[in-house]
Amino acid sequence: MGMVGGGRGAFIGAVHRMAAALDGEIELVCGAFSSNPEKSRLSGEDLCLDPKRIYGSYKEMIQKEKRLPENKRMDFVAIVTPNHMHYPPAKMALENGFHVVCDKPLCFTMKEALALEKLVEETGLLFALTHNYTGYPMVKQARAMVKNGDIGEIRKIVVEYPQGWLTNKVEDTGYKQAEWRTDPTKSGIAGAMGDIGTHAENLAEYITGLKISEMCADISTFVPGRLLDDDGNVLLHFEGGAKGILHASQISAGEENDLNIRIYGTKAGLKWSQMEPNSLIVKWLDKPTEVIRTGVGKLYPAATAHTRIPGGHPEGYLEAFANIYRNFAICLRARLDGKQADAVYHDYPTVRDGVRGMKFIEKVIASGKSKAKWVSM
């Protein structure tokens, strides 16, 4: 793996490296860790990389890695920069024959998203998007239960992602994570909806298998002087007739990362929370409520394949993140060996999920600004 971004002081870059390394399937061999060449060099030294493979820019990295013998060069690029810098290195990597793992959202604009989707189709290269919450075993159990018809026909979906870390204008205090996320030149047209609303959208569509068809959004910026949204409430219509509610907020004081979802069918309801990820609650219409636990009892194969340790040992954020990297690595290794990976490992977000996320961002902001309100997805 080669990495773009994620230098000293970067939160998500370190998370990607830990997730990629967890299963021993992936080795970080090179990187352009900052737009500042000296910072990139120092960051690479921190990671004990070969000095010859610590690069001053992503362009230099891709060009020089391509010139290496095939068995020596990086196999794929992990992009962990702010949103506005996802597209250029992803495009160049694909054009030069390198597979890609990219942090979400996919890129800066819808135009860029569609261009990447087309490029992935043309090259046939693998592209993973790190919507890491889909990696939890109980999320995969919920998806399998829905697909198998266990809860009946879906009627209602309620998905929420409340945070409180932007309750005050911390972007003015030198807090880098807040600075770029609230800056439209780096984050894009959306703040909270782009940063965490896309996670809620992706989770709802992933578990249910239903696509959002229409939405009506109320988008707010509560903190004076902030340039992007920090709260939003959205009514949703799904293909097939199901209806739902999506709430994403970064000004919900006291909240941490409480991504949660409730799905109601004609036979039962499902409830899952990222804050208690090892439990999936099934509320049956005609029998007592059931709590399904990671690693306990007979689960669907998709859940079992993504469970790492015996029941009662908590599996969390990093393990879910690692499941995406592991699945991608298994599929890539099979591709390089001229084989086909087991279907259970093809379960990771792709460029198409990224396009859906960008479409959600575009439409939810358009709806928030529209007097007509309802817009088609």
Query: Token pair of 56, please?
Result: 């001053």
Class of residue 90 by CB neighbours under 10 A (exposed 0-12, middle 13-18, buried 19+): buried
Residue 59, pLDDT score: 98
Structure confidence at residue 251 as a pLDDT band (50, 70, 90): very high
Calpha distance 349→328 (Å, rounded):
10
Give 116-142 pLDDT, tens digit per residue. Answer: 999 999 999 999 999 999 999 999 999
Q: Kindly report whether the peptide bond that precedes residue 105 is cis, defined as omega within 30 degrees of 0.
A: yes
Give 195-245 pLDDT, tens digit per residue. Answer: 999 999 999 999 999 999 999 999 999 999 999 999 999 999 999 999 999
Residue 372, pLDDT score: 86
Distances 142 to 112, 171, 311, 317 between C-alpha atoms, Å: 32, 37, 17, 17
Residue carrying structure tokens 């120092």: 42
Kindly tell me if the per-residue pLDDT of 343 is higher than 90: yes
The full set of domains in the chain, from first to last, is 2-130 (3.40.50.720), 134-310+355-376 (3.30.360.10)
Q: Residue 199: left (phi > 0), alpha (psi -120 to 50), or beta?
A: alpha
Kindly tell me if the per-residue pLDDT of 170 is higher than 90: yes
Structure confidence at residue 103 as a pLDDT band (50, 70, 90): very high
> What is the rounded average pLDDT for all residues in the chain?
97
* CA dihedral for 342, 348, 350, 352, sign (positive or negative): positive
Calpha distance 322→136 (Å, rounded):
10
Nearest to 140 by CA among 327, 6, 333, 8: 327
Q: Is 271 helix (H, G, I), strand (E, B) or coil?
A: strand
Q: What is the mean pLDDT of residues 317-335?
A: 97
Within 10 angstroms of residue 267's Cβ, the number of other Cβ atoms is 14
Q: What is the mean pLDDT of residues 302-308?
A: 96
> Across the strands, what pairs with 100?
77, 127
Structure confidence at residue 9 as a pLDDT band (50, 70, 90): confident
Give 256-265 pLDDT, tens digit per residue. Answer: 999 999 999 9
Q: What is the mean pLDDT of residues 130-155?
A: 98
Query: Token pair of 157, please?
Result: 């979906």
Kindly tell me if the per-residue pLDDT of 373 is higher than 90: no
Q: What is the mean pLDDT of residues 361-369?
A: 96
Q: What is the mean pLDDT of residues 35-62?
A: 97
